[in-house]
Amino acid sequence: MNNKQAKQIIESYQPSNGFFNLSEKPEGLSQIKYAKILEAQNFLVRQNKNSKYLREFEPIQWDKLREFSASLQQVIFCHWGDSVFV
């Protein structure tokens, strides 16, 4: 990912219901790292729309998505701390 791609991801980010609002970039993150976190969350938002199907017909995939979500949550807590709960 280059800076131009990162900027596009950041500019197009929209908070989603049920997910942390990551609109404000923490000072300690580079633009590229921030964009990668937003991209990961956007991926989970898209996958969540198929949650019923995945749970019923792709339970292994659903479990992997849950693990990925838990990993991303730890990154978010590390960089955003308690601010994601307001």
Task: Write phi, then psi, for 68 (nearest 5 degrees).
Answer: -60, -40
pTM of the model: 0.89
pLDDT of residue 83: 77
pLDDT above 80: residue 86: no
Q: Find the distance separating the first CA and the last CA of the chain, reported in whole Å.
A: 31
pLDDT of residue 11: 95
Which of the four pLDDT bands, split at 50, 70 and 90, describes residue 19?
Answer: very high
Query: Which string of DSSP letters, residue by residue, matches 16-76?
Result: -TTS----SPPTTS-HHHHHHHHHHHHHHHHHHTTHHHHHHH-HHHHHHHHHHHHHHHHHH
pLDDT for 55-68, tens place per residue? 999 999 999 999 99
Which of the four pLDDT bands, split at 50, 70 and 90, describes residue 47?
Answer: very high
